[in-house]
């Protein structure tokens, strides 16, 4: 059984993220999506809210499980026996950042798990969680950038 791990802060999850995860689910028997605590960022949504957003966005994919965690990623990946870490790439800037991560993961994992990249579809290449949050805060219509279930929850959470 091929197990993939796809992680991110998902603050919030976008249609680009969903597309990458849907495509990863076709490559793996099981994909675990990890909603992470990123100590280098301050999140707009809480870990619990982000996990709910991801669960809502991915409920239609049968072989996907959503977890939240704050552990050292390579250690978690090893302990859980994942075959691959799945990441999405939008552009050259993502590549520059991601190549360093892949090398870091390989250092800790010593070849026991591969980092696999899936290129975003061109129509999603400009969408980022940051762009979504900024426009959401300004009251813009972001419904084309996030799944409808996510948009509804975002509005609910904003009114907390």
Helix, coil or strand: residue 85: strand
Burial readout 68-99 (b: 16 or more C-beta within 10 A, e: otherwise): beeeebbebbeeeebbbbbbbbbeeebeeeee
Q: What is the pLDDT of residues 18-42, one digit of tens each?
A: 999 999 999 999 999 999 988 877 8
Domains defined along the chain, listed by start? 3-152 (3.40.50.620)
Active site residue 41: yes
Distance of CA 57 to the CA centre of its chain: 11
CB 88, CB 20: distance < 8 Å: yes
Which of 17, 43, 50, 87 is catalytic? The answer is 17
Active site residue 17: yes
Active site residue 90: yes
Q: What is the pLDDT of residues 82-138, one digit of tens each?
A: 999 999 999 888 889 899 999 999 999 998 999 999 999 999 999 999 999 999 999
Active site residue 148: no
Pairing mode, strands 84-89 and 114-119 = parallel
């Amino acid at each position: 059984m091929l197990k993939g791990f796809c992680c991110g802060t998902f603050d919030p999850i976008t249609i680009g993220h969903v597309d990458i995860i849907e495509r990863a689910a076709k490559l793996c028997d099981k994909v675990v999506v990890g909603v992470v605590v990123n100590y280098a960022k301050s999140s707009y949504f809480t870990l619990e809210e982000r996990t709910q957003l991801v669960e809502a966005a991915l409920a239609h994919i049968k072989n996907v499980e959503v977890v939240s965690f704050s552990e050292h990623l390579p250690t978690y990946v090893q302990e859980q026996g994942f075959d691959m870490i799945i990441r999405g790439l939008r552009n050259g800037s993502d590549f520059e950042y991601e190549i360093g991560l892949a090398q870091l993961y390989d250092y800790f994992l010593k070849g026991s798990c591969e980092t696999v990249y899936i290129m975003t579809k061109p129509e999603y290449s400009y969408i980022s969680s940051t762009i979504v949050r900024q426009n959401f805060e300004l009251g813009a219509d972001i419904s084309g950038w996030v799944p409808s279930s996510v948009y509804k929850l975002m509005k609910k959470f904003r009114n907390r």
